[in-house]
Amino acid sequence: MSVKALTKDEIGQDFATELSVQDYARKTPIEGVKIIDLKLMMDDGGCFTEILRLDESGNFLGIPELADFKVRQSNYSQMLPGVIKAFHLHFNQEDVWFIQPYDRVLIGLFDARSGSSTYKAQMRFVMGGGKSQILYIPRGVAHGLANLWSVPSNMIYFVNQFFDVNEPDERRLPWDALGEDFWTIKKG
């Protein structure tokens, strides 16, 4: 049995003018940002992923892109449904984020470094959702996340300096710096 393809002319005029194609092209990443896939091992009892290994000096092992990242502090955060935590920016601190594979978080990044080759570039993607990954965010890249779904999401993250409540290296930008619709689920 042969299947004959349709042409655009065979789609009703009520719909043909609204046809579009989703953009599947790989977006240019922000200079220095790294999304690193981890191995998620599953068996009949659950799953396991190794998030990181450290050498005696606190440097990441086994991930060449992060060889110079020295872990100074590790943190845990939970986001309730509907929460948006954005945007944060650091002058000295760098972050490595891990979203649990069976949670789901929308990540938003933009390059605020005026001397960067990707100045003002944006990245918007989901972490978790069945994948095991870590995200490296260099200093000067504004970052935020949103839980747009109906259950809490959990995050573990590592930073290369201690948090100092008296002199925090954390600057804030408005949550809607990239527009209110940045943090909404795209329909269609």
What's the mean pLDDT in 89-104?
96
Q: Where are the chain's structural domains? A: 29-183
> In whole angstroms, what is the distance from residue 61 CA to residue 160 CA?
15
What is the CATH topology of the domain spanning 29-183? Answer: Jelly Rolls (2.60.120)
Instruction: Report the C-alpha gap between 71 and 69 in whole angstroms.
Output: 6
- What's the pLDDT tens digit per position in 133-183? 999 999 999 999 999 999 999 999 999 999 999 999 999 999 999 998 999
User: Are the C-beta atoms of residues 171 and 88 closer than 8 Å to each other?
Assistant: yes
* Three-class DSSP category at 174: coil
pLDDT per residue as tens digits for the range 57-87: 888 887 888 888 899 999 999 999 999 999 9
pTM value is 0.87
Residue 106 — very low, low, confident or very high, per pLDDT cuts 50/70/90? very high
